[in-house]
């Protein structure tokens, strides 16, 4: 699946997007954040306060309990400051 | 009502007068037109510009969903939303929300509703460029903006 | 706040875009600009025009009092009100209320407050000119407009 | 004092304004409306529902109980339909 990062999540992880294949045990958004944190220093730093991370699955807002099965694109980003 | 909002995400400035004219011309059944323009503040002279990042595709989709919800709740006959991204200097407009209705309350309520949701739900992020040349911080989301949503529940 | 509203009573049309530009240019401390345009509806095709009578002198004075009250209640930095009189054909604008503030809630609330009070307290009266050539009735004041004031008490 | 009339009050009375000198017994707006109704057919017709008449003293809204002493100009008109 494709992961896309924005704002300080993007800056801290160091890439704007990447293709990943999480293990089968990763079923929810929360699992995904946990798994990403294990991937290295930048990920651990960017995602150290998971509650501060907002998530979109296929470009729609999603909660941390939501299942990621079938997601083509998951966006991870800080709280939005639109308008 | 089954109206389709005109949603545009662009880096270019927009002309509010022209947008008003294009929505009101040829219509004789609408009594009320409300615009909200969000302008880049200079924060007491410390800010030179904002760099606005957005989630292409999702920004349009999410604003369209917010506009559709507004059109469900109030009898509006037209909605336009223009949200800019990229570098925006202080004093320049960032966002325009325009609503048209037969009656003023619907036009006001729909515009306020959309602005409240744009603040916390539209995927945009603002980074500060300070007058002293330093690239500042990402603007924090305000708790008051999140709380503003509860009045529409 | 001690601001003086720009209040104009005129028969000529106005240019909302130009009014917005003149209020926002040179200001970098205002985050929010709201406009309300009231437009002459055709009432399902039956109305050709409205003839708007006003009380010269009092119209300016009363709208200025309403604007001053709005500026007392909310931290607005500028208010413009333009109200037309004379013959106004359907589709043309009758009134413009524009508010500027640092924050969106104040700009919205002040504009809504002023429109509610303009409806029932500004000395204007509308007479209908029907499409069939007949000079119709004076438009009755709406009870809902009078009731709208109670929410500001 | 000067009386000014607007909208259907003006049309029914038949003049837009006039100078009047009410008797001393006329002290309030209500008294004035009563006195005017006695001045002729058109006045009686225009002001037959006094509660429907809005009043301004010296170009400020006034209730029907308000005293008219010192008024230079009194406006009589139907409920307003501004905006």
pLDDT-based confidence at residue C23 (cuts at 50, 70, 90)? confident
> Residue B75: phi, psi to the nearest 5?
-80, 75
pLDDT of B43? 84
Decide: residue B64, CB within 10 A, 0-12 exposed, 13-18 middle, 19+ buried. middle
Which residue in the set B26, B27, B41 is minimally distant from C102, CB to CB? Answer: B41
* Residue pLDDT, tens place only, D38-67: 999 999 999 999 999 999 999 999 999 999
Interatomic CA distance for residues B89 and B91, integer angstroms: 6
* Residue pLDDT, tens place only, C61-96: 999 999 999 999 999 999 999 999 999 999 999 999
The arrangement of strands across the sheet holding B124-130 comes to: B86-89, B47-54, B124-130, B135-138
Two tokens at C142? 């709406």
Two tokens at C17? 């875009």
How close, in Å, is residue A66 to chain B by CA atoms? 18
**ipTM (interface predicted TM):** 0.94
Best probe of the B interface among C14, C19, C23, C29, by most B CBs < 10 A, is C29
pLDDT of C44? 84
Question: Is it the case that chain D and chain A have 3 or more CB pairs lying under 8 Å apart?
Answer: no
Contact yes or no for C29 and B35 at CB 8 A: no
- Least confident stretch, A60-64, B88-92, C41-45: C41-45
When the pLDDT of each residue in chain A is averaged and rounded to a whole number, the result is: 97
Place of tokens 């009101």: B24
pLDDT of A49? 95
Interatomic CA distance for residues C72 and D71, integer angstroms: 28
Contact yes or no for C140 and D81 at CB 8 A: yes
Best probe of the D interface among C111, C138, C146, C149, by most D CBs < 10 A, is C138
B99 and B138 Cβ atoms separated by less than 8 Å: no
* Residue pLDDT, tens place only, A21-40: 999 999 999 999 999 999 99
Does B1 have pLDDT greater than 60?
no
Question: Is it the case that chain C and chain B have 3 or more CB pairs lying under 8 Å apart?
Answer: yes
Considering only CA atoms, which of A35, A76, A82, A19 is closest in space to residue A53? A76
pLDDT-based confidence at residue B10 (cuts at 50, 70, 90)? very high
Does C131 have pLDDT greater than 80?
yes
More confident call, C142 vs C36: C36
C110 touches chain B (CB under 8 A): no
Helix (H) or strand (E) holding C6: strand C6-10
Two tokens at A70? 């079938």
C33 contacts in chain B (CB < 8 Å): 35-37, 39
Does D8 have pLDDT greater than 70?
yes
How close, in Å, is residue A80 to chain B by CA atoms? 5
Does C1 have pLDDT greater than 60?
no
C33 touches chain B (CB under 8 A): yes
Does C25 have pLDDT greater than 90?
no
| Touching partners of B (3+ C-beta pairs < 8 Å) | A, C
pLDDT of C30? 82
pLDDT of A48? 95
Output the pTM of the full model: 0.95
Minimum CA–CA partner of D53 in chain C: C141
Contact yes or no for A82 and B119 at CB 8 A: yes
Two tokens at C45? 């095709």
pLDDT of B16? 92
pLDDT of C43? 84
Does B26 have pLDDT greater than 70?
no
B-C CB pairs within 8 A amount to 114
- Least confident stretch, A57-66, B58-67, B142-151, C103-112: B142-151
pLDDT of C26? 67
How close, in Å, is residue C152 to chain B by CA atoms? 14
D81 touches chain C (CB under 8 A): yes
A81 touches chain B (CB under 8 A): yes
pLDDT of C111? 98
Does A45 have pLDDT greater than 80?
yes
């Amino acid at each position: 699946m494709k992961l896309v990062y924005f704002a300080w999540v993007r800056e801290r992880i160091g890439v704007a997007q990447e293709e990943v294949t999480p293990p089968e045990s990763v079923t929810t958004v929360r699992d995904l954040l946990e798994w990403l944190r294990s991937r290295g220093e930048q990920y651990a730093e960017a995602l150290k306060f998971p509650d501060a991370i907002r998530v979109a699955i296929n470009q729609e807002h999603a909660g941390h309990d939501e299942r990621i099965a079938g997601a083509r694109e998951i966006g991870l980003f800080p709280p939005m400051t639109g308008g | 009502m089954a109206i389709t909002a005109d949603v545009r995400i662009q880096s270019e400035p927009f002309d509010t007068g022209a947008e008003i004219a294009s929505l009101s011309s040829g219509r004789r059944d609408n009594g009320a037109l409300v615009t909200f323009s969000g302008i880049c503040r200079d924060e007491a002279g410390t800010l030179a510009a904002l760099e606005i990042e957005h989630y292409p595709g999702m920004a349009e989709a999410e604003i369209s969903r917010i506009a559709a919800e507004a059109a469900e709740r109030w009898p509006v006959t037209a909605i336009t939303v223009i949200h800019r991204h990229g570098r925006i200097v202080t004093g320049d407009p960032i966002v325009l929300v325009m609503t048209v209705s037969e009656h003023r309350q619907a036009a006001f309520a729909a515009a306020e509703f959309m602005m409240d949701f744009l603040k916390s739900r539209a995927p945009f992020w603002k980074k500060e460029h300070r007058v002293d040349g330093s690239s500042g911080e990402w603007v924090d989301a305000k708790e008051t903006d999140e709380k503003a949503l509860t009045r529409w529940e």
